[in-house]
Structure 1
Amino acid sequence: MLIFTTASELSTALAAERSAGHRVGFVPTMGALHAGHASLVASSVASCDRTVVSVFVNPTQFNDGSDLDAYPRTPEADAELLRDAGCTHLYRPTIEDVYPAGTAAPSAAADLEYGALTTRLEGAHRPGHFEGVVQVVSRLLDIVRPHVLFLGQKDYQQVAVIRHMIGQLGLEVAVETVETVREADGLALSSRNRRLGEAERRAATVINRQLAGIVTGLNCGWPARELERLALAALRAHPLLEPEYVEVVDGDTLLPYQDGAPAREVVAATAVHAGSVRLIDNRTLRPPNP
């Protein structure tokens, strides 16, 4: 595995790979890697000749400075995991390398119109978050120029936003979404999980159970709004959990799903505080209301 700290060196190396006819896959991460990230790398390794992984804690997508400061950083463990998973090129840049003109420099990606994709759910609770996401992803795609971008389903809204950005900018990169990896008790793997205390970790298992209950209810024809209400009530009843939202949405528009309406995919999404740690998760249903 080759390790790069500058965009210029990485771009030069990858230009040679593409000239040699090698297919390049890319997995952007913020580090503190776990088995979920390893599954993204494995997906790239399975279909691409070269796999690039970036490890960069992007400051522009944090609307809370304390959350940025608390984000776990484990560079040595990250490198070991990536080497074992088959990563060929690791990019570990500084903020100055990613944003040579400064983090406040204009971003064509951030100026696009995203509609409900960025104003609802996470967008409503984390102002400015998706502006930072598209800013950094568009910059990383410009550096790496991959054939395929691999993203995790756990960040469902982020995937939808990035797909829209790629389409609007006319970038020649395919997007592959990899299924969420879960612990044996159903908790979605997340870098934030390591910040959970023992009691909060046990409490967090309720999140997946409620989402699974929503999907079961939708399969049985229960009204989406009623399922949202029941899940919110169950989460609020737990003394260590504080939900921000539980919503059943159309997977393409992220607007509230209307019972019986045709949809490619329906998503039950939530954000919940377990103690001081904010967790997101989702479950999908395809086709809806069979």
Structure 2
Amino acid sequence: MRILKKATDLRKALPRKKSIAFVPTMGALHAGHMALIKAAADSHDLVVASIFVNPTQFNERSDLQKYPRTPKEDAALLKAHGCDFLYLPDVADVYPDGMKKNAAKNIDFGPLTATMEGANRPGHFDGVAQVVSRLLEIVEPDTLVLGQKDYQQVAVIRAMIQRLDLLVRVLVVPTVREFDGLAMSSRNKLLNTDERAAAAMINRQLAAVVAGLAAGWPTQPLEQMALSALGEHDLLDPEYVQIFDGDTLLPYLDGDNVRELVVATAVRCGDVRLIDNRIVDLPNP
């Protein structure tokens, strides 16, 4: 695996006659990221990963500063799982003209950013669109590989690709979970022992909502029950539990005909903010 810190060097190194899959990350890698690398390697000639903690998508400076950084361990993990190129830049290389330049800044994402993460983290998705558009400009991959755990982020990136008319396909890989169902996340490393045990309740409540929907229970009571159950735990502070249309990200109204039904949540566990979602298997009509 080649490690390159400059965009110019990466562009020169990539052979353009081979299919390229790109996996953007912020590091602190785990098995969930490796599932993305495997999916990329299974269907492409070359796999490019990036590790870049993007400052423009953090609402809180303290969150940016404490984000776990383990570049040596990450590089070894990527190499062991078949990554061919690692782009490991600094801020100046990603944003040579400054962080105010943003190819995606004029995109109106409408309802895709009006709820959930968009409502709770103003400006977050502007930063996500900014960095992903810049990384796609650098790598020019055939396929962008993303994880389902960041469901809303995937929807925003898809919309950005469409609005900017970028020639890249999006491949979404299912969420990888810990033994107790907690979605794998780089932020899990910041949890202490008690917080880690409490965090397992997030997936249990999502699973309960999914079961209720499958049984035909109404939406709002299910959301409120999950919020209440999470909020009763001393170490958990839920921000939202929302059931929504996977295409529009608008709140689901009971009886709506949707292609994909999703329940998502964001929960603060101690000082760590965790997100997760579950896709509901709808019965055939």
Question: What's the TM-score once normalised by structure 2's chain length?
Answer: 0.98
Task: Tell me the distance in 2 between the aligned counterparts of 1:148 and 1:289.
Answer: 31
Residue from 236, 240, 252 that aligns with 1:245: 240
Q: Pick from 5, 14, 34 the counterpart of residue 38 of structure 1.
A: 34
Among 41, 45, 53, the alignment partner of 1:57 is 53
SS in 1 for 2:242: strand
Match of 1:257 in 2: 252
Question: What is the CA-CA distance between 1:222 and the residue it aligns to?
Answer: 0.5
Residue 98 in 1 paired to residue 100 in 2?
Answer: no
- Taking the aligned partners of 1:289 and 1:23, their CA distance within structure 2 comes to 37
Matches within 5 A, 1:98-137: 98-105=94-101, 107-137=102-132
* 1:78-134 CA-partner distances (Å, limit 9, x unpaired): 0010001100000000100000011112x2312111001112100111111000000
Contact 2:214–2:281 (8 Å) recurs in 1: no
Which whole-Å CA distance do the structure 1 matches of 2:35 and 2:151 have between them? 16
Question: Per-residue displacement from partner, 1:228-268 (whole Å, max 9, x unpaired)?
Answer: 01100100111110000000000011110011111110110
CA distance in 2, matches of 1:63, 1:56: 16
- The CA RMSD over aligned residues, in Å, is 1.0
Structure 2 CA distance for partners of 1:137 and 1:269, relative to 1, 3 Å: same
- Distance in 2 of aligned mates of 1:251 and 1:53: 27
What is aligned with 1:4?
Answer: 4
Unaligned residue ranges in structure 2 (runs of 5+): none
Paired with 2:121 and 2:284, the residues of 1 have a C-alpha distance of 31
Does 2:165 correspond to 1:170? yes
| Aligned twin of 1:87 | 83
Give the partner amino acid of 2:205. Answer: Q
* Partners of 1:219 and 1:289 within 8 A in 2: no
- Contact 1:221–1:289 (Cα < 8 Å) also in 2: no
Does residue 153 (structure 1) correspond to residue 148 (structure 2)? The answer is: yes
Change (3 A) 1:288 1:127: farther
Q: Does residue 266 of the first structure (1) align with residue 265 of the second (2)?
A: no
Q: Which residue of 2 aligns with 1:66?
A: 62
How far apart, in 1, do the equivalents of 2:88 and 2:52 lie? 6
- Cα distance in 2 for residues equivalent to 1:289 and 1:227: 22
TM-superposed deviation, 1:289: 8.4
User: Match for residue 225 of structure 2?
Assistant: 230
Distance (whole Å) between structure 2 residues aligned to residue 24 and residue 131 of structure 1: 26
Give the aligned partner of residue 73 of structure 2.
77
Runs of 4+ in 1 over 2 A off after TM superposition: 286-290
1:48 aligns with 2:44: yes
Contact kept in structure 1, 2:263 and 2:279, CA below 8 Å: yes
**Structure 1 residues 174 and 80: alpha-carbon distance in aligned structure 2, compared to 1, 3 A threshold:** same
Residue pair 1:187, 1:207 contacting (<8 A) in 2 also: yes
Structure 2 match to 1:210: 205
Q: Is the 8 A contact 1:187 1:204 kept in 2?
A: yes
Residue aligned with 2:222, SS? helix
Give, in whole Å, the separation in 1 of the partners of 2:105 and 2:220: 32
Alpha carbons 2:214, 2:282 under 8 Å: kept: no
Q: Distance in 2 between matches of 1:12 and 1:118?
A: 36
- Is the CA contact 1:243–1:273 (under 8 Å) kept in the aligned structure 2? yes
Unaligned runs of 5+ in 1: none
The equivalent position to 2:175 in structure 1, one of 169, 176, 180, is 180
The more displaced of 133-142 and 107-116 is 107-116
Partner Cα distance (2:284, 2:265) in 1: 20
> Residues of 2 paired with 1:238 and 1:65: CA distance?
27
CA distance in 2, matches of 1:12, 1:222: 56
Whether the 8 Å contact between 1:263 and 1:288 is mirrored in structure 2 is no
Query: What amino acid is the match of 2:249?
Result: L
